[in-house]
C-alpha cells in the first residue's frame, strides 16, 4: 500500500508527460490513459490472470481502484456510483468467471438505463476459441444485456474504442457498454494516438429537442384536456428535468404520478404529486390514470408493473408519449402521439409556449383525486402504527428514516417488500436520491449500489433499505465497506422470509409456502461485527428512533440495524398480476 | 394481420453484427422467415435482408429495435413498396437416361441453369422471385426432387431511388 501510494504521488509516468504527442504505449497503459481522459478517477473491480497488465498499469497512475469482494459487487457499485452522480461508472474484471459475474450487474444497469463502462480481460488471442483456461465469450454474453460492446483485437484501437464506449454509455438513452480485451492486446505496445476527432455513429442521432409542430400538438392536447395527468419515469431524472418539471406543474397544476424509477423527479409531498402508480402504487394515483382524459408520459416505458392489464390502462385517455428512445414508443401500449425527444427539452419547449389562459379548469379533477386520496390515504397506514415487539411496522421504519436522514440523503433499496414500502413511504425530495433496481429487480443490488453511491457522494448520508434475503446475496461487500471506511447505514428489514414471494404465495397460492422460510438467518449484527463493522438489533418499535440516530451519527464504516419484522406483513395496495390498475386489493380502507 | 415483410438493414461490417440481430429476433420473439447478409458496394458496409412475419406494429418494433443497434446505420421496409425480389434455389432432381431430356425441357421453360449432370441426377439452379421458384419446384416434382436448398431473399426498390440513402454522418472513430 505504501509503495502504491508513493507511486501515486510521484510525477506522472513518462506516458503522461507528452500530452497529445504520439508515442509508444502498451495496450494496458492506453486503457488507463483513456480512463483518465474521460475524467474517471475511481473504478471498481477484481483482478485475475487475463486483466493483470491493466492492474499493473494502474500502479503508475492516480486512478483509485476499489477492490470489491465479488465482481457482481463491482458492477453494482459502478451502477450506484453512476446513478447517484450522473457520471459514467466503471468496473473491471478478468476473463471467464470474472466476466460472467458482471453479467447480472450489467443487465441491471441496462434495464434501468444506467451508464457503465465495463472492462474485461480476455484470454490471449492465440487461445480464443480453444476453451482456454478462464475463457468465456464475454463479448457474446454481453449482446442482450448491454447497449453496445466491443471486442478489441488490435492494441492501437484501444483509445478510440474507449472514447466511443464512454460516449455511447452516457448519450441518448444511457446504458452499459462492455469492452473485452485479450491479454496480449493489453501487453503489446503500439503507437498511441489521442482520439481527438469527435465520436460519430453514422445513421444515429441523439434526440434532443422536439420539433415545433410536435410541441404544438402536445399543447393542443393539454388545452383540450379536462382531466390531464403526467406519468413521469426515470427518463425525467436522466435528462435532468426535475427543475422544469416542477415549474411546469406549478404553472399548470396538472397532477403528476411517477414510476418507481421516476421517484424524486418531483418531491414526494409536492401538492401536485400523487406518488407512485402501478402494481403497488397509491390507489388515487392508479384511479387518476384510469379516469384521466389525457396522459402525458415523460421518459417512461409502460412496464407491465406500471400498466397492469394493458387494455384497461388509461383507457379513457389520449396518450402522448415522449421518450428519447423511439423503440419505446408504441412498444407496450398504443399511443396517440409519440415524440422522440429528451424529456427536459420538451418541458422547456412547452414552457416557452404555454398560455396558461387556455388551460381548462382542473378544479373538479383535483377534487375527485383528493376524494380518492382522503378515502384511501397511503399515509394513514403508517400514522400511529408502530407495531409491536418483533413485529415493527415497516412503514414506520421507512418514515422514521425519512424524518431522520435528511433531504440530502441517498436512499438505496434492494428488491422485495421493503423496496415497495420504501417506494410508497419514503419522502424522496430530489432526483438521484432514490436508487433501486426497477427493471430487472435484482436481489443483492442494494448493498453494493449503496457503497458505490457513497463513493460518489461522500458528503451525503447513504441509507440502504434492504431485506434479509437480498442482503445475503452480496453480504461479502461488508469487507469493501469496512476497508474503505464507507459509512452506509444498512436498515435490514428482517422478517426471516423471502417476503415478496411469501406474499404472493399468501395471496395467490392458497398460503402454500414453498422455499420462502429464512428462519435460519445468521445473526446479522454479529456478521457485521465479524467483518469489522458495527450493528444493533432492534426488536421494539420504541428502539427504532434511537437506533437510527446512532447509526446515522456513526462514521468510518458500515452500521447495520437489524429490524425485526413479522413475516405476515404484506405490501398493500396490490394490483394482482393481470388485473387492471383500478382493481387493487387493499389500500387502507 | 401478420404477413411477410422485407426489411433491409445497412450495417457496418463489425464482429457480432449478425449475432446481435439474430439475438434480437430470438429474445423478442419476432418471427423471422429468412435472412441474407452480404457486402455492399462499400466494403465496410453490409446489407442484411430480413423477411419477417409480423403485423404492422410488429414490423415497426423490429425496425426500431434494429435501428437501435449501434452498428446498424439504416433500416428500410420494402414491402408493400414496389421492389424487385430475388431468391436462389439449387435443386437436385432424378434424371436417369430416359428422363433427362424432359427435365432439360422443363428447366428451359423456367430459364434455369444446369449446374451438374450425374449418372442418375441433374442439379439445376434458378434465380427468381419466391413465387416463381415455387412454380419451378412444383414443375419438377413429377421427376422426383431429391434435394432443395434456397437462399434468403434479397431485394431492392423498383424505382430510380436507391434503397438506402447515401451515408450522411461521416466515419466511425473506431476503425477496424
Rounded mean pLDDT of B64-92? 94
Show which of A375, A401, A419 is a domain's final residue: A375
Q: Which DSSP helix (H) or strand (E) runs through B75?
A: strand B72-77
For chain A, how many helices (H) and strands (E)? 25, 22
Tell me, yes or no, whether A152 and A240 share the same domain.
Answer: no
* Cβ-Cβ contacts under 8 Å, B172 against chain A: 164, 200-202
Distance CA A295, CA A231 (A): 7
What is the pLDDT at residue B80?
78
Q: Same structural domain for residues A450 and A406?
A: yes
CATH number of B85-154: 3.30.70.1150
Mutate to test the interface with A, among B44, B72, B173, B176 (most CBs of A within 10 A): B173
Asked whether residue A303 is domain-assigned, the answer is: yes
Q: Structure pTM?
A: 0.95
- Judged by a CB distance cut-off of 8 A, whether residue B12 touches chain A is yes
Q: A150 to chain B: which residues are within 8 Å by CB? A: 174
Domain edge (last residue) among A192, A220, A244: A192
Contact A203 B74 (CB under 8 A): yes
Residue of B nearest to A206 (CA): B68
Say whether both A270 and A140 belong to one domain. Answer: no
Give chain B's mean pLDDT: 93
* pLDDT recorded at residue A589: 41
Peptide bond into B80 cis (omega under 30): yes
A215-229, B90-104, B154-168: segment of lowest average pLDDT: B154-168
Q: Does residue A158 sit in the same domain as residue A43? A: yes
Are A225 and A371 in the same domain? yes
pLDDT on residue A385: 87
Coil, helix or strand at residue A208 = coil
| Assigned architecture for domain B3-80 | 2-Layer Sandwich (3.30)
Which residues of chain A lie closer than 8 angstroms to B167, CB-CB?
202-203
Look up the domain containing A507 and give its range: 378-564
Q: Is B158 on the interface with A (CB under 8 A)?
A: no
Distances (CA, A) of A446 to A88, A413, A535, B142: 18, 5, 18, 68
Buried b (16+ CB within 10 A) or exposed e, A406-429: eeebbbbbbbbbbbbbbbbbbbbb
CATH code where residue A278 lies: 3.40.50.1220
Chain B residues with beta carbon closer than 8 angstroms to that of A331: 61, 64
- pLDDT lower than 50: segments of chain A: 1-17, 589
Distances from the Cα of A489 to the Cα of A403, A457, A574, angstroms: 15, 14, 29
Touching A: B residues 98-137, CB under 8 Å? none
**Per residue in A122-136, pLDDT tens?**
999 999 999 999 999
| Number of structural domains found in chain A | 3
* Structure-block grid coordinates of residue A342: 429528451
Residues 141-160, chain A: which have Cβ within 8 Å of B?
Answer: 143-144, 147-151, 153, 157, 160
Same structural domain for residues A351 and A370? yes
User: Any idea what the CATH number is for the domain that residue A61 is in?
Assistant: 3.40.50.970
Q: Is B15 on the interface with A (CB under 8 A)?
A: yes
Residues of chain B with CATH 3.30.70.1150: 85-154
In a domain, A203, yes or no: no
Q: Rounded distance, CA A118 to CA A78, Å?
A: 9
Q: Does A233 lie in the same domain as A357? A: yes
Q: Is there a single domain that holds both residue A257 and residue A127? A: no
Whether residues A43 and A138 fall in one domain:
yes
Are A272 and A407 part of one and the same domain? no
Same domain, A229 and A347: yes
Could you tell me where in chain B the CATH 3.30.70.260 domains are found?
3-80
pLDDT at A15: 45
Residues A24 and A144 in one domain: yes
Q: Which residues pair with B83 in a beta bridge?
A: B157
Question: What confidence score (pLDDT) does residue A203 get?
Answer: 76
Domain presence at residue A491: yes
Contacts of A523 (CB under 8 A, 6+ apart): none
Q: At what angle do helices B56-68 and B17-27 cross, to 10 degrees?
A: 140
Query: For residue A142, what is the nearest residue in chain B, using CA coordinates?
Result: B20
Amino acid at each position: 500500500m505504501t509503495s502504491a501510494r508513493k507511486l501515486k504521488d510521484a510525477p506522472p509516468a513518462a506516458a503522461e508527460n507528452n500530452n497529445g504527442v504520439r508515442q509508444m504505449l502498451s495496450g494496458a497503459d492506453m486503457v488507463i490513459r483513456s480512463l483518465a481522459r474521460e475524467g474517471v478517477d475511481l473504478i471498481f473491480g477484481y483482478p485475475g490472470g487475463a486483466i493483470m497488465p491493466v492492474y499493473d498499469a494502474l500502479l503508475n497512475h492516480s486512478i483509485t481502484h476499489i477492490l470489491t469482494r465479488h465482481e457482481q459487487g463491482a458492477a453494482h457499485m459502478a451502477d450506484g456510483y453512476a446513478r447517484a452522480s450522473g457520471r459514467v461508472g466503471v468496473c473491471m474484471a478478468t476473463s471467464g468467471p470474472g466476466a460472467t459475474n458482471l453479467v447480472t450487474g450489467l443487465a441491471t444497469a441496462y434495464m434501468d438505463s444506467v451508464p457503465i463502462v465495463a472492462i474485461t480481460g480476455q484470454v490471449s488471442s492465440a487461445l480464443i476459441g480453444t476453451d482456454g483456461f478462464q475463457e468465456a465469450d464475454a463479448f457474446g454474453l454481453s449482446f442482450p444485456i448491454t447497449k453496445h460492446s466491443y471486442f478489441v483485437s488490435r492494441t492501437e484501437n484501444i483509445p478510440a474504442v474507449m472514447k466511443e464506449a464512454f460516449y455511447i454509455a452516457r448519450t441518448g438513452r444511457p446504458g452499459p457498454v462492455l469492452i473485452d480485451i485479450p491479454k496480449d492486446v493489453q501487453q503489446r505496445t503500439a503507437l498511441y494516438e489521442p482520439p481527438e476527432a469527435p465520436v460519430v455513429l453514422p445513421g444515429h442521432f441523439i434526440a434532443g429537442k422536439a420539433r415545433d409542430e410536435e410541441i404544438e400538438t402536445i399543447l393542443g392536447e393539454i388545452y383540450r384536456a379536462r382531466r390531464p395527468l403526467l406519468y413521469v419515469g426515470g427518463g425525467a431524472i436522466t435528462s435532468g428535468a426535475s427543475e422544469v418539471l416542477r415549474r411546469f406543474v406549478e404553472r399548470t397544476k396538472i397532477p403528476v404520478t411517477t414510476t418507481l424509477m421516476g421517484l424524486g423527479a418531483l418531491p414526494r409531498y409536492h401538492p401536485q404529486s400523487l406518488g407512485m402508480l402501478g402494481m403497488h402504487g397509491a390507489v388515487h394515483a392508479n384511479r387518476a390514470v384510469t379516469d384521466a382524459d389525457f396522459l402525458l408520459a415523460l421518459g417512461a416505458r409502460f412496464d407491465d408493473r406500471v400498466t397492469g392489464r394493458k387494455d384497461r390502462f388509461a383507457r379513457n385517455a389520449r396518450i402522448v408519449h415522449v421518450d428519447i428512445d423511439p423503440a419505446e414508443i408504441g412498444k407496450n401500449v398504443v399511443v396517440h402521439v409519440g415524440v422522440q425527444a429528451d424529456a427536459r427539452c420538451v418541458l422547456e419547449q412547452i414552457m416557452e409556449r404555454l398560455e396558461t389562459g387556455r388551460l381548462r379548469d382542473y378544479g373538479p379533477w383535483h377534487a375527485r383525486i383528493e376524494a380518492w386520496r382522503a378515502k384511501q390515504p397511503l399515509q394513514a397506514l403508517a400514522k400511529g402504527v408502530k407495531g409491536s415487539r418483533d413485529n415493527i411496522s415497516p412503514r414506520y421504519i421507512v418514515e422514521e428514516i425519512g424524518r431522520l436522514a435528511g433531504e440530502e440523503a441517498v436512499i438505496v433499496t434492494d428488491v422485495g417488500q421493503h423496496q415497495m414500502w420504501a417506494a410508497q413511504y419514503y419522502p424522496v425530495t430530489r432526483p438521484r436520491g432514490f436508487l433501486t433496481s426497477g427493471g430487472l429487480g435484482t436481489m443483492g443490488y442494494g448493498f453494493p449500489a449503496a457503497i458505490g453511491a457513497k463513493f460518489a457522494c461522500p458528503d451525503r448520508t447513504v441509507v440502504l433499505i434492504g431485506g434479509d434475503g437480498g442482503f445475503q446475496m452480496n453480504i461479502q461487500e461488508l469487507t469493501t465497506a469496512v476497508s474503505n471506511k464507507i459509512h452506509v447505514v444498512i436498515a435490514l428489514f428482517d422478517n426471516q422470509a423471502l417476503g415478496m414471494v411469501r406474499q404472493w404465495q399468501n395471496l395467490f397460492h392458497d398460503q402454500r409456502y414453498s422455499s420462502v422460510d429464512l428462519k435460519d438467518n445468521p445473526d446479522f449484527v454479529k456478521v457485521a461485527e465479524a467483518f469489522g463493522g458495527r450493528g444493533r438489533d432492534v426488536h421494539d418499535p420504541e428502539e427504532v428512533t434511537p437506533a437510527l440516530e446512532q447509526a446515522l451519527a456513526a462514521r468510518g464504516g458500515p452500521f447495520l440495524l437489524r429490524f425485526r419484522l413479522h413475516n405476515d406483513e404484506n405490501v398493500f395496495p396490490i394490483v394482482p398480476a393481470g388485473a387492471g390498475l383500478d382493481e387493487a386489493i387493499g389500500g387502507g380502507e | 394481420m401478420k404477413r411477410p415483410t422485407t426489411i433491409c438493414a445497412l450495417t457496418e461490417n463489425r464482429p457480432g453484427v449478425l449475432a446481435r440481430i439474430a439475438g434480437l429476433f430470438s429474445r423478442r420473439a419476432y418471427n423471422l422467415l429468412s435472412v441474407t447478409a452480404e457486402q455492399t458496394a462499400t466494403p465496410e458496409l453490409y446489407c442484411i435482408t430480413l423477411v419477417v412475419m409480423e403485423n404492422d406494429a410488429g414490423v415497426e418494433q423490429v425496425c426500431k429495435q434494429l435501428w437501435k443497434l449501434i452498428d446498424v446505420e439504416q433500416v428500410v421496409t420494402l414491402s408493400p413498396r414496389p421492389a424487385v425480389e430475388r431468391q436462389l434455389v439449387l435443386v437436385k432432381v432424378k434424371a436417369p437416361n430416359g428422363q433427362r431430356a424432359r427435365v432439360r425441357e422443363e428447366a428451359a421453360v423456367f430459364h434455369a441453369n444446369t449446374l451438374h449432370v450425374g449418372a442418375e441426377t441433374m442439379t439445376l439452379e434458378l434465380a427468381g422471385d419466391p413465387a416463381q421458384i415455387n412454380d419451378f419446384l412444383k414443375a419438377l416434382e413429377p421427376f422426383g426432387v431429391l434435394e432443395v436448398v434456397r437462399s434468403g431473399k434479397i431485394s431492392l426498390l423498383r424505382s430510380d431511388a436507391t434503397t438506402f440513402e447515401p451515408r450522411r454522418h461521416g466515419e466511425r472513430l473506431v476503425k477496424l
